[in-house]
């Protein structure tokens, strides 16, 4: 990553955090809020290099954990697992496809909820967690997919990225 890409990524992460934490909760019901940090992690998994984006994906999860009030490291592990899965499959696919990006975000939304559920069931004894996670799963997947489809309309999405 050159300096311009690093600054653009840092700006997009800061803008996503501000939108996800301060702006969107005021105007949108919580089950219809897009997970902008997960969309950035999927984008990095499809387009970024393996060595440089592993710590970034983990840090994106930690940022989400620190602002969500859940257990610290829960989303960090989920984002890291999703990044590994997407990166290992994207090397075999045409990763610049907008359709693949939307499909990967939809699948990552499902995987993030499933991993969070698995980890919470293993390490906590809270009842009713299955219903609370899967009650909003379909809107969560749909709004993340819709937001990912909007991301593909930006002009910087079509630019060729660096080779891994």
Which residues are CB-neighbours of 110 under 8 A, at least 6 positions away?
A: 137, 141
Spell out a b/e string for 89-113, using b for 16 or more CB atoms within 10 Å of the CB, else e.
Answer: ebeeeebeeeebbbebbbbbbebbb
Q: Strand locations in the chain, DSSP E?
A: none
pLDDT for residue 160: 61
| CA pair distance 14, 3, nearest whole angstrom | 16
pTM, rounded to two decimals: 0.91
Distance in Å from the first CA to the final CA of the chain: 10
- pLDDT by 10-residue block (mean), the chain, 164 residues: 85 94 90 92 91 93 89 92 93 83 96 92 81 88 95 78 48
User: Quick one: which of 50, 60, 42 has its CA closest to 100?
Assistant: 42
User: 137-151 vs 36-47: helix axis angle to the nearest 10?
Assistant: 60
């Amino acid at each position: 990553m050159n300096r311009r890409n690093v600054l653009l990524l840092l700006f997009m992460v800061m803008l996503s955090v501000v939108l996800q934490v301060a702006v969107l909760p005021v105007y949108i019901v919580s089950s219809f809020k897009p997970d902008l940090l997960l969309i950035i992690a999927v984008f990095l998994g499809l387009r970024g290099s393996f060595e440089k984006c592993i710590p970034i994906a983990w840090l994106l999860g930690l940022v989400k954990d620190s602002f969500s009030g859940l257990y610290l490291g829960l989303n960090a592990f989920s984002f890291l697992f999703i990044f590994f899965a997407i990166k290992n499959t994207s090397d075999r696919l045409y990763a610049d496809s907008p359709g693949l990006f939307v499909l990967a975000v939809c699948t990552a939304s499902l995987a993030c909820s499933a991993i969070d559920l698995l980890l919470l069931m293993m390490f906590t004894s809270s009842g009713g967690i299955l219903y609370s996670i899967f009650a909003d799963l379909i809107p969560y997947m749909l709004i993340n997919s819709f937001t990912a489809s909007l991301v593909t309309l930006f002009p910087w999405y079509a630019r060729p990225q660096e080779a891994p």
